[in-house]
Amino acid sequence: MKIISLVPSITSTLAELGHEADLVGCTSFCVDPPGLARRITVVGGTKDPDLSKIRSLAPDRILVNSEENRAEDIALCREIAPVHESFPKHPGDVPEMIRSIGKFLGSDHAAGLLADDTSKAIQDLEKTATKNGSLESFIYLIWRNPWMAAGNDTYISRLLECAGLRNAVSTTRYPNVPMEMLVRLSPEIIFFSSEPWPFRKRDCEAFVAEWQGMTSQPVPKLLKIDGKSLSWHGSETKKAATSLRLWIEGDPSTNIIRRAGPDGH
């Protein structure tokens, strides 16, 4: 079988299901498994795939995502080979997505095992969060200049909600959030994601300076968070749910979340 994946998180999931050797094409953003893009053909990005290159690879299967890939590109891919299109909006949607991919590729058994493990990891996270009883409010920043955040209608937000947190941003999916809005929302936690903007110590310091220049309110708790774990759905969901559970339990072995700012960058 010859497979092309136009979704980084799905590429990682395919490898987990035993299909790494079947991959003949991926995007430039497919960084997992490491070095894959050097071993197979890169067919462009998620938003600008090279359809002629995809066609030349004569794939048997193509996997896409309704949000990451453009509708017009997906339609053209359907003219080349059978297409699997997915768009999980909640971690709870992921196990069924994994089973669907397994059926599409003839890997029902491996997909069923991964789906069951993922369901259990999510359930264990939710049980731990309920036991913990905390409902801290957060804002999850994804960009600087301007500040942008993940709204509550996102997979990212719903994964953190499984961990017992509450998103203070209830507007559009990825809105601009100027400092006056951030202050007005008064979150208890600010998450600085590692992607798509790779927040560094200087970004956190700039945030603090801007916050303190606008209000006398205490600066929220500042935390760095693994953006890949929070936004990649598929095999990464199980890992993210497990890491978040360990974070709630105070286990030092997880580094999905760590302090940010002058003394924790």
CA distance 164 to 170: 16
What pLDDT does residue 261 have? 58
Looking at the domain 119-259, which fold is it?
A: Rossmann fold (3.40.50)
| In the chain, where the domains are located | 3-87, 119-259
Domains 3-87 and 119-259 share a fold: yes
Single-letter code of the amino acid located at 93: D
What pLDDT does residue 162 have? 97
Which tens digit of pLDDT belongs to each residue from 98-139?
Answer: 999 999 999 999 999 999 999 999 999 999 999 988 789 999
What pLDDT does residue 40 have? 97
Which tens digit of pLDDT belongs to each residue from 133-190?
Answer: 878 999 999 999 999 999 999 999 999 999 999 999 987 789 999 999 999 999 999 9
Instruction: Please state, as a whole number, how many other Cβ atoms lie within 10 Å of the Cβ of residue 38.
Output: 7
In the chain the beta strands, taken as DSSP E runs, fall at 3-5, 23-26, 41-42, 61-65, 83-86, 137-143, 148-149, 166-167, 189-193, 221-225, 257-259
Cα–Cα distances in angstroms (integers) from residue 103 to residues 34, 61, 84, 97, 121, in the given order? 26, 12, 10, 10, 22
Residues paired with residue 167 on neighbouring β-strands, in sequence order? 138
What pLDDT does residue 193 have? 97
**69 and 9 Cβ atoms separated by less than 8 Å:** no
Architecture (CATH level 2) of domain 3-87? 3-Layer(aba) Sandwich (3.40)
